[in-house]
Amino acid sequence: MIDKEKIYDAALIIKNSEYIVVFSGAGISTESGIDDFRSPHGLWSRYDPGIYANYQYFLKDPSLFWKMHKEIEDLVDTVEPNQSHLVIAELEKMGKVKAVITQNIDMLHQKAGTGRFGAKIYQLHGEYGKLQCVKCHKEFEYEEIDTKNVDYPVCDCSGYIKPKVILFGESLPHGVLEGAMSECTNADCLIVVGSSLLVSPANFMPSIAKQYGAQIIFINRENTIMDDLADVFLKGSAGEIFAELLKVIKT
């Protein structure tokens, strides 16, 4: 059951805010059919991210990463944004949301229309849509490289080719973290949705925003390690909560 009183509290914060920043994690996309790290029978129970999504393992044997990534590619090509992504895009249209910082690589914020009214998107963990050679750093579009009929793609220079997603052990894309942190300093409200807040440095965002005076709304199915930062914690399904929030904001 959604706590109605807390919905009203959060809706009031949103109504009174002019520079909302959204920080999303894998949990925002579970209702679109992409598992987060916590789903008991999901992708990550078959592919330990510490191995399959680890840069050092990739450099030793890229076939492990590509085995997992081919499943993700098939998913990302077919999934659609859910209520949470759509309401965030609607809040941008209403002039509220100015930036979305996401840990996800699934492009669902973009598919939902985020960015159409000027909001910036910071993809902390890289871009799904592009590939790059880890040796000569040449970039490729997906259409240029056969990723389906090989164990793993290799560049003309003999380097391994990897999507521009960030694996454990890799640095974040240049400038993206700095841009995201700067948005948090400008925010009057930060909405944190679907993240366990266990992955650093992405999980610095709520404390930066708090330090600079933002009000913080958490939307998550379970408690996180940073709950004490939240002004309002809305516990439950993100899609249902965003739908309720929008109803109250529009009344």
Which positions touch ligand NAD (CB under 6 A)? Answer: 25-27, 29-31, 34, 36-38, 103-106, 125, 194-196, 198-199, 220-222, 237-238
Give first-to-last CA distance, the chain, whole Å.
21
The residue behind tokens 């959204």 is 22
Closest separation between CB of residue 75 and ligand NAD, Å? Answer: 9
Q: How far is the CB of 89 from ligand NAD (least distance, A)?
A: 17
110 or 155, CB closer to ligand NAD? 110
- Residue 221 burial (CB < 10 Å; 0-12/13-18/19+)? middle
Q: How far apart are CA 238 and CA 136, in angstroms?
A: 41
- Coil, helix or strand for 37? coil
Q: Is 125 labeled as catalytic in the residue annotation?
A: yes
What is the smallest separation between the CB atom of 100 and ligand NAD, expressed in angstroms? 13
CB closer to ligand NAD out of 211 and 223: 223
Residue 136 or 198 with smaller CB distance to ligand NAD: 198
Closest CB to ligand NAD: residue number: 27
Q: Is 53 helix (H, G, I), strand (E, B) or coil?
A: coil
Q: How far apart are CA 198 and CA 138, in angstroms?
A: 32
| Residue 1 beta carbon to ligand NAD: minimum distance, rounded to whole angstroms | 14
Residue among 37 and 55 whose Cβ is closer to ligand NAD: 37
- Cβ pair 123, 102 in contact under 8 A: yes
One of 69, 85, 109, 125 is an active-site residue; which one?
A: 125
Picking from 72, 110, 104, the residue whose alpha carbon sits closest to that of residue 88 is: 110
What is the Cα–Cα distance from 54 to 93, expressed in whole angstroms?
38
Q: Which residues are catalytic?
A: 125
